[in-house]
Every structure is written in C-alpha cells, then in structure tokens.
Amino acid sequence: MANPSVHLLGTYLKDCRARLDPASFGFSGRRRTPGLRREEVAQRANISATWYTWLEQGRGGAPSAQVLDRIADSLLMTAPEREHLFMLAFGHLPEVVYSAPDEVTPRLQRVLDTLAFSPAFIKTATWDVLAWNTAAAAVFTDYSLLPVGQRNILRLMFCNPRAQARQADWNAVARFIVAAFRADATRAGAASEVSQLAEELCTLSPEFAALWRDNDVRLQGEGTKRLRHDPHGVIELEYSNFAVDGRLDLSMIVYSPVTAADADRVRAVIEDAARLKPALSVGPALAGEASAIPPRN
C-alpha cells in the first residue's frame, strides 16, 4: 500500500510551484499550466530535474533535510509552509536555528495589559522576560528597573536574594525551573545561548550548578505558585503556559489568583506598588477594568 504522506508531499509541491510567477524568476516562454516547471524548481534548488520529478510523483525516495530546505527556498515558502513541508516529508518540524528575540508585537503587549489583576509576562526560550503587565511588575518584580540583560528568570531566582525570599518554597521552585528551562531551550535550538548562561550561573550560584548537573527535564505546563508578600501574607496563584503561535521561542505565562482572598492580596500589592512608584500607577487597561473588580472587604 502506498504511503499517503508521499502522495500529499507531491501534491503540496505541485501546488506550491503552480502559484509562482515564472516571469518574476526570469523564466519565459509559453506554458500550458500556471507556475514554474519542475525543471525550473530543480534548477533553483540545484538538484536533478529527474529526481525532483520523481519526488513529486512519490518515487524518488526520501530527500535529505538540506535538499528539502533548498526546495523550500526555491519555492519561496514562508515559515509555516516550510514547517508543513517537513511534516509531510519527515513527520517532524525543520531544525530550529535560534535567534534571540528582543521585543514583542504591540498586539501581544495589549493582551498582557488587559489582564489587570492576573500577573502575566512573555519570556524567551532562554527565560529572558521581554514583556509584562502592571500586575507582574508589582507581584514579581519591576523588570523595567533592571538592565535588559538582567531580566532573566534564572538570574533572579539564583542571584537575587529578594526574589529568593519571596518564594514560599524556594528549593522546589528552583529545581522545577531549571528542569523546565532545560526543556524549553533545547526545544528552541538555543544550545549556544544556554551554554553561555549556564556557565555563568554555575559560577555565580552553587545551587544552580548542583541542579544543572542533575539533567532533570520537565515541561512547565500548568501548576501553582506561592509567593510571600508582607504585610499581606502568602499569595497563591495558578499559572498556565501558552505558546505564541508561530514563535517557538516565545511563551506567555499567566498567573491567576486561586481564591477570592488571593485576588484581594494581588489587588493590594498592585495598589501598594502604585503608591510607592508612580510609574506603576493604574494604566489605561487597569483603569478600564477597575470598576468591574469588587472592592476588598
């Protein structure tokens, strides 16, 4: 029985070349069908025209990842199209070449800002915090006061005494985030960046060095977090980890108060921060939703 994915791969390649304009590539001549000819795709990809024809017909054998990359380039595929091509050919995504992002889109920032009383932030695969909302600045730390290179969750957890003291169970949290960080960074292909950060943290923190040697790997997923916030006591938050579509290197973490009492504590912490630092005062999103939040008893 023929492999159905082979047929799908050939059909997809035909459709991709059919939608391209030959003239834009310098190819001329009358054509009975739209798009590039097979030999023109092969020429652009620097492969045999006969072999490419066989590939479309499902009888050329499995291509290498390098050849498939060249075919994708020759067909001007977008990133999602290239991923689909690799899934059809190999059953997995192309190898990721990590490029550290330095900002998020305004739309993503607006999503964060609408979460008035749920601390939330967007982090990279190496756990650098790129964007956050007012609640996160109050409940976790005001990342805007940190140099860009220091807005890293692991740096805060292992090198910042204040961040450590805020954790209700620092040992458990530390073990978990090292394991989850390892999984995130590996998935995003950030081996070089991870090596540099881990080497530095191993020098700065014996606790990190010990946990890094364990080679534990976990997914962040969902869970709960408990933070100390004097004089309001311990705040318990549920968190969920959301992938940013089309960006394997970014994820959004949203923390929601577990109980009404926890929600009151979060609100109180935000109010305290606003009084202490005018820059943290209620912004447009917070002001727009404040009336919808019941006052504390």
Domain assignment of residue 98, yes or no? no
Query: What would the DSSP string read from start to end of 245-286?
Result: TTEEEEEEEEEEESSHHHHHHHHHHHHHHHHH-GGGS--HHH
CATH number of the domain residue 168 falls in = 3.30.450.180
- pLDDT in single tens digits along all 297 residues of the chain: 345 566 889 999 999 999 999 999 989 877 888 999 999 999 999 999 999 999 999 886 778 889 999 999 999 998 878 888 988 888 877 666 556 677 888 999 999 999 999 999 999 988 999 999 999 999 999 999 999 989 999 999 999 999 999 999 999 999 999 999 888 777 766 677 788 899 999 999 999 999 999 878 887 889 999 999 999 999 999 999 998 877 777 899 999 999 999 999 999 999 999 988 754 433 333 333 333 333 344
59 & 146 share domain: no
Domain assignment of residue 85, yes or no? yes
Is the CB of residue 74 less than 8 Å from the CB of residue 45? yes
What pLDDT, on a 0 to 100 scale, did the predictor assign at position 206?
96
What pLDDT, on a 0 to 100 scale, did the predictor assign at position 82?
86
Which of 46, 64, 90 lies at the terminal end of a domain, its last residue?
90
284 & 139 share domain: yes
CATH number of the domain residue 9 falls in = 1.10.260.40
Measure the CA–CA gap between 194 and 189, rounded to whole angstroms: 9
162 & 78 share domain: no
117 & 45 share domain: no
Chain-centre distance for alpha carbon 172 = 24
158 & 233 share domain: yes
Is the CB of residue 236 less than 8 Å from the CB of residue 257? yes
166 & 278 share domain: yes
Q: How many domains does the chain have?
A: 2
Domain that holds residue 35: 4-90
What three-state secondary structure class fits 221?
Answer: coil
What pLDDT, on a 0 to 100 scale, did the predictor assign at position 291?
32
